[in-house]
Structure 1
């Protein structure tokens, strides 16, 4: 249809006689008034002015008469404007020409719009619907064989999305994650520690309600996750696991002493003293517990965080309760001071000492179980809740979270995978797959799955404590070289200064100032 009109306009139009005109008083073309202008014709060529044989030159009176309608064409075109009746007659000579022109212009507009839609809009719609997308998922602890069944199930439901699983090395992980995301080569979905929000806030994407609502998040996960992952009403991550600091007991040592695991700090102190063994020179051979020092006490910052929490000290604002903070540090350090010490700086790493049977009590997380078993498969031990002050229950949590990069080009697909990865069925499948290669999987992050593990004595203590857990920037084993490491350095200096007979009050003042500087650096 368009080709026909183009042919008509460019080839047929010039064939019309020159004297056909269109009254343009009613028409405007391309934004300009075309009245008093002839469209399809031109002024006829003028006759030569010189005299010719056989032709009588008209007088002035004859010339006037010759200019009437129907007279032969004059040598000069008429100067006056045609009368209104003439214009109307001319404009109505071929009304179908005006109609065809309007139709033609309308077709041009419609055709142009269709062309633009076909070239630019329709392909994008089709491509978005059928586009093959690959998202990259950075994890830390699980092998691919554990997560792959989840990925396979997800890809079956979403055939246009491929999940590229990458298990990262924990060393320098946080810095690598930060650098890669900022330069545009980072993952779409990744794992991060529950205390890292201040360092990652600039590129963590808030989760939309179609991934998880605030109501569902609050009812499905432990309260500590609200503190760590909900900021200004937005949720920034979903945990796959939860972990709390618990107490490992060497059952052979306790049975030999005829004592039970302690439930209070008073019982804890008495038990630690009772099972500590020293040689004739006062050197510790079997330590009751690894506390008091710092560098050789695995999870020392976590233990102090636990004591702070139970004594009402806010680790983010130590100066608000500096007296209790000083008392807490004095309590901790007393285990490594004086002739009645239970631990000292000369001892092996606490994990190594416990695995060798030279330590009665050890503070650790659920994953320490596998480290100890790897060091000594024959060691007999049990896991119990940490001691508490009377009439309270306060614990410390450290766990890892899955989040989506705000810099990702495929946020929609990453959000879909995060929702699938963290649902109840996937959590159960991950636990089952993990349990195929070791004694148990990671403790469930979901509250609605806790009861399924209540009879597992190796994992139930961690989950029972999660209900009353809080978190702290004083936490070990994150390898962050950031907020955790910097806070821990100030804490280690405070412990060291008191061990060197410094004042705990002075140590707390220095610690408080240092922590304030670190938190300020990360916008806290």
Structure 2
């Protein structure tokens, strides 16, 4: 009888422990039925197309509600400021490239307790590290729009050139024969370099050349901004070397003369079939194809500096940033991470035909003729923290125009550019 009572006692203890474990698991949300209350509703503003974002979000997890509103890039900041002042702003904005400095005072970093710096570096491409601060990530990167080289197949074929340039030096050989000119009048260009006003993305192209040569322009080191345009390792003066190469194609005294200020915008010249190459972004592919369906063109990765150990192209990157004035920060942090990884990021990448910033997704290279070039370019995409796109555009423009007008030598122009960027950094840090 005693043995029977002992056995019953043991059974009751085991049964009681089982019930206790079940209660604990249920109270911690193991059933998942109440998770939606934990993350609530999140509203996102951005400039990406409404239909593509809605399609990507339609199968979102049922533990969060996410709505998206498309805004115009020209009015996004003003609408945001007004909305925040009225207390009805979004939880997240999709930051356009180069704008995170402009919006910084409105943002709250995504803390490293939520997403560690080590994990950030492992998950996203190197270019995304521009978002990192001492307190956390200003944004989680979503898509990359790398600069590529568009080239006219008919022009290259007519000159029996079977391979497009892989190093910049190749253009010194091609320009004298491919360019069609009568004294100063150019009727067909090889490469649209050497001017500013009519060279699409001139600042970005010069930035790419400088960074390829080994200078970061503006780097962030332990939270401090450092300006370096003209100090390198493999190339002693990266900035001067980049400007000299760029300017050579607008000098009528040189055999490489291929571009002047009387020509239309370089993008339009390429679309009309009167330029052998054009340096533009992956996002421009559809526009070029639709504008001139008869243009026989292809794309390639941008040329590199001969002998350089590190390949690089300039690229635009956008990311999801959480607003400081926010009644659902935890939900916003969760939504930002959810959207920038997994199926949603993949769908957005496919819908916009742009590479994702997530390393695992970027490794899944599409099997078609165009996107692999974009994906390969995204792997080597880089940029620098542009503190004020309007001011830096003026600084780069003044350097080019100063050289063209002979007011400055190349070295003097680069020295002035570096000095003005340093002044801009001081103003920014002093704010």
Which piece of structure 1 moves more, 315-324 or 394-403? 315-324
Structure 2: gaps (5+ residues): 1-33, 219-226
Question: Is 1:327 matched with 2:241?
Answer: yes
Q: Distance in 2 between matches of 1:454 and 1:132?
A: 34
1:177 to 1:374, Cα distance in 2 relative to 1, 3 A = farther
Q: 5 Å matches for 1:236-275?
A: 236-259=138-161, 260-275=163-178
Q: Distance in 2 between matches of 1:490 and 1:201?
A: 22
Q: Is the 8 A contact 1:404 1:414 kept in 2?
A: yes
Q: Is the 8 A contact 2:42 2:332 kept in 1?
A: yes
Q: Deviations over 1:386-411 (max 9, x none)?
A: 11122322222211111111211121
Structure 1 position 501, deviation (Å)? 1.4
Q: How well do the aligned residues superpose, as a CA RMSD in angstroms?
A: 2.7
Question: Is 1:467 matched with 2:379?
Answer: yes
Q: Distance in 2 between matches of 1:128 and 1:220?
A: 25
Q: Is the 8 A contact 1:178 1:200 kept in 2?
A: no
- Of 348, 352, 374, the match for 2:290: 374
Structure 1 position 499, deviation (Å)? 0.5
Q: Is the 8 A contact 1:251 1:380 kept in 2?
A: yes
Question: Is 1:198 matched with 2:116?
Answer: no
Q: Distance in 2 between matches of 1:293 and 1:379?
A: 25
Which piece of structure 1 moves more, 320-329 or 489-498? 320-329
State the partner residue of 2:300: 384
1:150 to 1:466, Cα distance in 2 relative to 1, 3 A = closer
Question: Is 1:513 matched with 2:419?
Answer: yes
1:319 to 1:348, Cα distance in 2 relative to 1, 3 A = closer
Q: What SS class does the counterpart of residue 243 from structure 1 fall into?
A: strand
Q: Is the 8 A contact 2:189 2:275 kept in 1?
A: yes
State the partner residue of 1:97: none
Q: 5 Å matches for 1:166-177?
A: 166-177=69-80
Question: Is 1:423 matched with 2:341?
Answer: yes
Q: Is the 8 A contact 2:36 2:62 kept in 1?
A: no
1:130 to 1:458, Cα distance in 2 relative to 1, 3 A = closer
Q: What SS class does the counterpart of residue 145 from structure 2 fall into?
A: coil
TM-score of the superposition, structure 2-length normalised?
0.80
1:454 to 1:272, Cα distance in 2 relative to 1, 3 A = farther
Q: Distance in 1 between matches of 2:202 and 2:413?
A: 17
State the partner residue of 1:396: 314
Structure 1: gaps (5+ residues): 1-126, 435-439, 475-481
Q: Distance in 1 between matches of 2:139 and 2:176?
A: 43
Q: Is the 8 A contact 1:249 1:361 kept in 2?
A: yes
Q: Deviations over 1:289-338 (max 9, x none)?
A: 11110111111111101111122233232466395423322221111112
Q: 5 Å matches for 1:208-247?
A: 208=111, 212-226=115-129, 228-232=130-134, 234-247=136-149
1:282 to 1:509, Cα distance in 2 relative to 1, 3 A = closer
Q: 5 Å matches for 1:58-77?
A: none
Q: Distance in 2 between matches of 1:390 and 1:509?
A: 25
Q: Distance in 2 between matches of 1:306 and 1:130?
A: 47
Question: Is 1:336 matched with 2:274?
Answer: no
Question: Is 1:492 matched with 2:397?
Answer: yes
Q: Deviations over 1:409-456 (max 9, x none)?
A: 121222222222122111222234x1xxxxx62112122122432533
Q: What SS class does the counterpart of residue 201 from structure 1 fall into?
A: helix
Q: What SS class does the counterpart of residue 138 from structure 1 fall into?
A: strand
Q: Is the 8 A contact 1:272 1:288 kept in 2?
A: yes
Q: Is the 8 A contact 1:272 1:360 kept in 2?
A: no
Q: Is the 8 A contact 1:198 1:523 kept in 2?
A: no
Structure 1 position 353, deviation (Å)? 0.9
Q: Distance in 2 between matches of 1:485 and 1:382?
A: 32
1:180 to 1:492, Cα distance in 2 relative to 1, 3 A = farther
Q: Distance in 2 between matches of 1:387 and 1:147?
A: 34
Q: What SS class does the counterpart of residue 101 from structure 2 fall into?
A: helix
Q: 5 Å matches for 1:91-106?
A: none
Count of matched residue pairs = 379
Q: Is the 8 A contact 1:240 1:400 kept in 2?
A: yes
Q: Is the 8 A contact 2:355 2:378 kept in 1?
A: no
Higher RCO (CA < 8 A, seq sep 6+): 2
Q: Is the 8 A contact 1:483 1:522 kept in 2?
A: no
Q: Deviations over 1:465-488 (max 9, x none)?
A: 3333321256xxxxxxx6112111
Structure 1 position 183, deviation (Å)? 5.6
Which structure: larger Rg? Answer: 1
Q: Distance in 2 between matches of 1:445 and 1:319?
A: 27
Q: Deviations over 1:118-156 (max 9, x none)?
A: xxxxxxxxx9986995432112122x22122343333x5
Q: Distance in 1 between matches of 2:248 and 2:357?
A: 35
Q: What SS class does the counterpart of residue 307 from structure 2 fall into?
A: coil
